[in-house]
A and B are shown apart, each in its own frame.
Chain A
Amino acid sequence: MSSAEPGGAAARSLLERVFREEAGRLTASLVRLLGDFDLAEEMVAEAVVEALARWPSAGPPERPGAWLLTCARNKAVDRIRRESRYRDKLQQVAALPESVDREPDDRLRLIFTCCHPALDADAQVALTLRAVAGLTTAEIARAFLLPEATLAKRLTRAKQKITKAGIPYRAPEPDELTDRLQAVLRVIYLVFNEGYFTTGGEAGVRRELVDDAEWLAGLLVHALPTQPEPLGLLALIRLHSARWAARLDNRGRLVPLAEQDRSRWDTRRIRSAVALIERAAALRRPGPYQIEAAIAAVHCEAPSWHATDWPQLLTLYDMLAALDPSPVVRLSRAVAVSHIDGPATALRQVDALADSLGHYHLYHAARASLLRDLGRTDDARQADQQALKLTANPAERALLTARLQDVPARRHPS
């Protein structure tokens, strides 16, 4: 709305999407055809450089996938002639088809391979962002605030393990799909979480991670249309990103949900997310992501914090706790309880979680909020101080610091 060149920005972002879509498909197909992650990635990377130079001025070609493949093949043949380690691949590359089949399974295979449980979670995340979402090593390192060399080493090791340990390049069989899908959903959720909630970094980089997570979840929904949990995860990501514009004030401080300007929420995104939740619900297999999405939807559809449907939230938290009886879920549930049975009851429930959540900043932030509702200002300040000690996120730190200085976190224009 405030962008100087909305048309230009939109065109560029459309181009990026087309481009990523095609590059992602191409990488997936080439990994299948060549059986070699590194070679496939290098081929696509070279074609991508060429495309970046040409597409923005000329627009994407009519068949972007075929264009990229031809370009990648030509670049690869040149390269292979120069480098002996790829010599045995020359025939394979020369024999690549004119256009790569649109096998919908290719990217699914790729994402399941990247999220194979024999790779550790950090490696799964890095590899998925690199190979499926097409981020560069530098971009991933920046997003996770890690040295590029660390990330590069992690990726190299993961790719070598796939080849040397014989991790198969395939989508799981039906009987193992549920377990394997959990790993993929967790990786996408971690990408989203890193972009939305955690450690800091530039706002622009973090927003891109949220977009990447949404794109990955969309890919999964497209490839596995009868699985309800990917729909739930996609809806969850959309509902959170619908509130993006309202969650930071103009000084970069986090604005609590209760104080957000709801007119700045993206209602179109909220409506599309609710439709996804309904589609998932029709499949009649509830799961944690669907319930979390439903919880986010209750907040997004409430006209104000006080007019939130707290009994409905409590029901949803009970459903969630039945599937995932973790202390973090019980902490969130207590917030709903405070609006139904009052802050004293909620505080007792929160205090009971001290042993398991004492190291978690949101535990102390939630306590502070309940203590303030009870008029125990000094105790509330102490709890806020505890929370401050435990978080590195600059936006959260700014909010907690403001609370401690007794300055309103958000200034309303008179």
Chain B
Amino acid sequence: MKYVLLLTRGAWQEEGSEQERGEVFGRIGEWFAKHFADGTITEAQQLREPDTATTVVLEDGRSTLIDRPLLEAKEAIGGYAVIDVPDLDAALRLAAGFPMPDGKVEVRPLVER
């Protein structure tokens, strides 16, 4: 089954020192490389900082712009990965092993056509 892992930025990205952040990103890079290599991850992207986001609100056929992301900075999505694994248990195990010191990973199944 295919799932998307939505990765929040976590407090470490806002508060940690430059060096700590560098180390964590190093581990995250290795994690992605490993799971791309074993075929678990089919696609992944890192997003730019939340303060680069623009939200487009559609209403009554018109659109207005808001100069911020959908979610508060602490919960803001920092990246995503599309994975292909046998079942939810495998997806949850993968998410639990994501090497960041704090944060959240939403595991959401994809509609497969």
A residues sitting closer than 8 Å to B (CB atoms) are: 116, 118, 164-168
Contact = CB atoms under 8 A, between A and B. Distances in A.
The 8 closest A-B pairs by CB, nearest first: A168-B87, A166-B1, A166-B88, A166-B87, A167-B88, A165-B109, A165-B88, A168-B89
Contacts of B91: 166
Contacts of B3: 166
A165 B2 CA distance: 9
Interface string B96-112: 00000000000001000
Nearest to A118: B88
Interface of B: 1, 3, 86-89, 91-92, 109
17 contacts: A116-B88, A118-B88, A118-B92, A164-B109, A165-B88, A165-B109, A166-B3, A166-B87, A166-B88, A166-B91, A166-B109, A167-B87, A167-B88, A167-B89, A168-B86, A168-B87, A168-B89
Of A164, A165, A166, most buried by chain B (CB within 10 Å of CB) is A166
Nearest to A172: B89
A116 to B, nearest CB: 8
Nearest to B86: A168
A31 B23 CA distance: 47
A118 B88 CA distance: 9
A165 to B, nearest CB: 5
Contacts of B1: 166
Contacts of A118: 88, 92
Nearest to A176: B89
A167 B1 CA distance: 10
A168 B88 CA distance: 7
A383 to B, nearest CB: 42
Contacts of B86: 168
Contacts of B87: 166-168
Contacts of A164: 109
Given A118-B88, A165-B88, A166-B87, 12 more contacts: A116-B88, A118-B92, A164-B109, A165-B109, A166-B1, A166-B88, A167-B87, A167-B88, A167-B89, A168-B86, A168-B87, A168-B88
Nearest to A169: B87
A168 B91 CA distance: 11
A167 B3 CA distance: 12
A183 to B, nearest CB: 13
A101 to B, nearest CB: 23
A165 B86 CA distance: 11
Contacts of A168: 86-89
A295 B34 CA distance: 51
Nearest to A163: B109
A167 B86 CA distance: 10
A166 B89 CA distance: 8
